[in-house]
Amino acid sequence: MALELRHLRYLIAVAEHANFTRAAEDLRISQPTLSQQIKQLERTVGAQLLDRTGRTVRLTDAGETYVHYAHRALRDLAAAERAVLDVADLSRGHLRLALTPTFTAYLIGPLTAEFHTRHPGITLDVRELTQDRIEAGLLADDLDLGIAFHRPHLPGITATALFTETLSLVTGTDRPTAGTAGTSGMPGTSGAPGTPGTPVPLPVRALADRQLALLSGDFATRGHIDAYFAGHRVQPRIAVEANSIQALTEIVQRTDLATVLPDAITHDHPHLSPVPLEPALPARTVALLRRENAYRSAATQAFTQLTHDHIRDRGYAPPTAQRAQVDRGE
């Protein structure tokens, strides 16, 4: 029997579901047909690929090895198909992009708008994912690019440092502007003379026992904030947790609660005021991620260049030399 691509997909589906019935439902074929096709595959390769003796179906050692190469074959075939369809003049194409949630609030909107204006024939698939899922998606060839933070990455991931993200305490502009020169709405502000409205660093100890609204724990930014407070032995009271940047900014505008957000979010927001903390929250390096040696379509290259142009035009702080990683060919 000649091996066909469907056999690889069938085997992978059974391995993922550990069950013939659920795999058949997912593939939209009958369970007997699926079983027959897998047996044909096993006869062709000359080895048993699945252990059917337990309560669940699992891969044999030979099956584990075969599925590893099956995944690679299907991924390379998909890349080949995209390469054939790729058009160098960007009149059409497809780009799969993922980013961690905070970038939804200030980066993806301008990038998408400009990219669509320049290349209206390119379809852009944008997903909001955790960084772990972004890196896994890149390695599985489910994504072309990711925007996340510089950190130890999974093997096979190439990171290009983009800019340094800084964070501050944030209040609503219609609320007491604690932390600005000549005000004392929040404990610990100096009220020292200065230009009206000029932010004066607020000692982090002034936040002890204060009520804050913060991002929920599923945001990497929340872990960054919690580590900062813990490092300075400050325990603010968390009055509100939100899993949406938009919800958080709406809450802060309408209450006396403060929050902590990247400065880029508040930079152009008419109803939010940043208040620098002393010592400052640790900065983070934002990075563009891709799979090492992945096929780089014309759309991928165009979006990469657009991202660098946007960051330069916006004047975002460059990444520190120690953290920046040079991606050859960018």
- Kindly give the confidence (pLDDT) of every residue in the chain, 330 residues in length, as a single tens digit, with 9 standing for 90 and above: 567 889 999 999 999 999 999 999 999 999 999 999 999 999 999 999 999 988 889 999 999 999 999 998 888 888 777 777 667 778 888 999 999 988 988 999 999 999 999 999 999 999 999 899 999 999 999 999 999 999 899 999 999 999 999 999 999 986 554 444 333 344 433 333 344 456 688 999 999 878 999 999 888 889 999 999 999 999 999 999 998 899 999 999 999 999 999 999 988 788 899 999 999 999 999 999 999 988 888 999 999 999 999 999 999 999 875 444 433 333
Question: Which contiguous run of DSSP H or E holds residue 104?
Answer: none
The total number of structural domains that make up the chain: 3
Task: State whether 143 and 292 are in the same domain.
Answer: yes
Is residue 325 one of the residues assigned to a domain? no
Q: How far apart are CA 122 and CA 86, in angstroms?
A: 10
- Predicted local confidence at residue 93, as pLDDT: 87
Give the model's pLDDT for residue 2: 66
Helices assigned H by DSSP within 30-181: 31-45, 61-85, 108-118, 131-139
Q: Is residue 322 situated within a structural domain?
A: no
- SS3 string of 265-297? HHHCCCCEEEECEECCCCCEEEEEEEECCCCCC
> What is the per-residue pLDDT for 198?
61
Q: Are residues 172 and 231 in the same domain?
A: yes
Clarify whether residues 172 and 274 are in a common domain. yes
Other Cβ atoms closer than 10 A to 153: 18
Question: 3-class DSSP state for residue 199?
Answer: strand
Q: What's the pLDDT score for residue 219?
A: 85
3-state secondary structure 140-193: CCCCCEEEEECCCCCCCEEEEEEEEECEEEEEECCCCCCCECCCCCCCCCCCCC
- Residues β-bridged to residue 172: 272
- Tell me: do 80 and 132 sit in the same domain: no
Judge if pTM exceeds 0.85: no
Integer distance in angstroms from the first to the last C-alpha of the chain? 46
Indicate the residue type of 65. Answer: T
End residue of a domain, out of 62, 84, 106: 84
Q: Which residues contact 242 (CB under 8 A, 6 or more apart)?
A: 213, 214, 215, 216, 248, 251
Q: Which amino acid is at 211?
A: Q
In angstroms, how far is CA 303 from the centroid of its own chain? Answer: 16
Count CA within 13 A, CB hemisphere, residue 83: 9
pLDDT for res 80: 78
Residues 25 and 91 in one domain: no
Among the candidates 67, 84, 101, a domain finishes at: 84
Residues 6 or more apart whose CB falls under 8 angstroms from that of 181 comprise 191, 192, 193, 194, 195, 196, 197, 198, 199, 200
Same domain, 288 and 161: yes
State residue 191's pLDDT score. Answer: 39
Per the structure, the complete domain to which residue 78 belongs is given by: 5-84
- Confidence (pLDDT) at 174: 63
- Is 181 in the same domain as 219? yes
Task: Establish if 324 belongs to a structural domain.
Answer: no
pLDDT at 179: 42
Q: For residue 258, what is the DSSP state?
A: B
